[in-house]
Amino acid sequence: MGVGQYLNDLVTGAWSLASGMGVTVRYMFKPVSTVQYPRERLPLPEAYRGHIELIPHEGGHRCVACGECFRTCPSAVIKVQGFKRQASDHTRARYFFIDYSRCSLCGLCVEVCPEKALRFSREYEQAEVSRYGAVVDLMARLHEGGPS
């Protein structure tokens, strides 16, 4: 390695160090943009689409287990089964499972629901340790007063 290469490396390194320190000094005097997450939260945009949830309606839900969401889902992650309470009563969904680990949040199930029983939640803290934790019973979640 010659003297010319050594001086070139020295100038390049000094320039790199100076430009990096310049960025540091610029940001040192700007206001802090960090949010202390558990205590502070940023507002969600109106267009935010969280996981699918059932809409509470008069102590229950509106889902009549028609199966439109099940048939429309391109990822095939929704399982719905209904039952009739009495002969004159409408069908009501008994269970409504959705596998969030494979859900693409396309919104087709929300759009196609004739009873408008589904919506996107505003919840974003639903990380799970295993993929089995992502399979959620929306009926149980609705009855226990889960996130809305």
| Measured CA distances, 15 to 2, 22, 25, 47, 87 (Å) | 20, 10, 15, 44, 82
Express the helix, strand and coil content of the chain in percent, nearest 5 each. Answer: 30, 20, 50
CA angle 126/132/137 to nearest 5° reads 70
Q: What is the pTM of this model?
A: 0.67
> 62 pLDDT exceeds 70?
yes
Contact 124, 50 (CB under 8 A): yes
> 148 pLDDT exceeds 70?
no
Contact 92, 64 (CB under 8 A): yes
Measure CA of the first residue to CA of the last residue in the chain; give whole Å.
66
> 84 pLDDT exceeds 80?
no
> 10 pLDDT exceeds 60?
yes
Mean pLDDT score, 49-67: 87
> 147 pLDDT exceeds 60?
no
Cα 105 from Cα 75, distance rounded (Å): 10
Name the DSSP class of 110. H
CA angle 42/47/52 to nearest 5° reads 95
Mean pLDDT score, 36-56: 89
Residue type, 111: E
Mean pLDDT score, 54-58: 88
% of the chain surpassing 90 pLDDT: 41
Contact 143, 96 (CB under 8 A): no
